[in-house]
Chains A and B, each alone.
Chain A
Amino acid sequence: MTQYDELTEFLLRLGDSALIQAQRLCEWTGRAPAIEEEMGMMNVGLDLVGQARNWYEYAAERINDGTDADVLAFRRDERAFRNLLLVEQPNGDFAVTMTKQFFYDAWQFHLLTILKDAKDERISAIATKSLKEVIYHLRRSSQWVERLGDGTDESHQRMEKAIDAVWRFTVELVEKNAAEMALAESGDIPSLAELPEQWLATVNKVFAKATLTVPDAPSTFYLSARTGMHTEYLGILLAEMQFLQRAYPDASW
């Protein structure tokens, strides 16, 4: 399990999270609750794969050993993946999928808003472009959370169950991380100190409209995607996603 420099690790965290979230959206193909939703989910997925590619390309340049975006996506093992634990969780029903999407979108929105002012021009450019897409993602998932939370009794119950199922993984969205603080101190990225409060404020606002309760602060130990300590779901997801690159290492696609 290679550890790269902190900034590269940070880029991989962004790229991996986008790719894994998109991969989960791809699993919905032909199975969405309405054909209109097929369009919506695929649009979000397309944006995210594009974002992943941009982060990977920058990471690959920094690693500078001949690697490229595809190698980073399709040839690393689960211990090397840095994605949020949240996005690797199975889709469950539409309530779980939308809850995950909303938590992730809110995190992306606030994070990219901060990163668009990064001194590093590459980070700033990718964040600015991605943010335009994520504003729409967040609006869409917020509305779904509101609809399902404040819809029928059944949809409300399903949302409560969904929140209960994935809430513990949001610990990664609100933790203050030493590596990122160091990156901010050295000026590589702007300070992310405000991110946890901003994320929580968005969740509070949308949940209030959705008549949903925000659980107490999550706690977890052992699991941490930053050191490749994933849940068991990621390995299976990668086995599927990376199948062709692994089975035919000499092939060109």
Chain B
Amino acid sequence: MSEWTLFEVFIRSKHGLNHKHVGSVHAADAEMAIENARDLYTRRNEGVSIWVVPSAAITATASDEKEPLFDPAEDKVYRHASFYELPDEVGHM
């Protein structure tokens, strides 16, 4: 049994970017998790913002759900700009 809680760590590397998952830390509470994440994952100026979430609080898709969850999006090409053909004279849109 782990003595401390496992937290997943998300770092925003630059202003304007999304937080990105980088790994995990152990900590007694969220405050400590932030500090441990800072000491571990931003030693070389890698971050401007940190999120920590108890790993147990994360719900993930299971691998066998891949088809029902993501495949339906494959044929919805009309969601992508390149689906719409416009004459060259319209220029960049």
List residues of chain A with CB under 8 Å of any chain B CB. Answer: 34, 36, 39-40, 43, 139-140, 143, 147
Contacts and interface: CB of A to CB of B under 8 A. Distances in A.
| Chain A CB within 10 A, most for which of B25, B28, B35, B43 | B35
Contact of B36 (A40, A139, A147): A40
| Chain A CB within 10 A, most for which of B27, B28, B32, B39 | B39
Contacts, number: 23
Contacts of A139: 35
A36 B39 contact: yes
Given A34-B4, A36-B40, A39-B40, A147 B35 contact: no
Given A34-B4, A34-B26, A39 B31 contact: no
Label chain A's interface by main secondary structure.
Answer: helix
A114 B32 CA distance: 29
B28 A43 contact: no
Contacts of B32: 36, 143
A40 B43 CA distance: 11
Contacts of A40: 35-36, 39
A39 B28 contact: no
Contacts of B26: 34, 36
Contacts of A140: 35
B4 A39 contact: no
Contacts of B40: 36, 39
Interface string B17-39: 00000000111100110011001
Given A36-B26, A39-B36, 14 more contacts: A34-B4, A34-B26, A36-B27, A36-B36, A36-B39, A36-B40, A39-B39, A39-B40, A40-B35, A40-B36, A43-B39, A43-B43, A139-B35, A147-B28
Contacts of B39: 36, 39-40, 43
Contacts of A36: 25-27, 32, 36, 39-40
Interface string B35-67: 110011001000000000000000000000000
23 contacts: A34-B4, A34-B26, A36-B25, A36-B26, A36-B27, A36-B32, A36-B36, A36-B39, A36-B40, A39-B36, A39-B39, A39-B40, A40-B35, A40-B36, A40-B39, A43-B39, A43-B43, A139-B35, A140-B35, A143-B31, A143-B32, A143-B35, A147-B28
Q: Give the 6 A-B residue pairs with the shortest CB-CB distance, closest first.
A: A39-B39, A36-B36, A40-B39, A43-B39, A39-B40, A140-B35
A36 B29 CA distance: 13
A43 B37 CA distance: 12
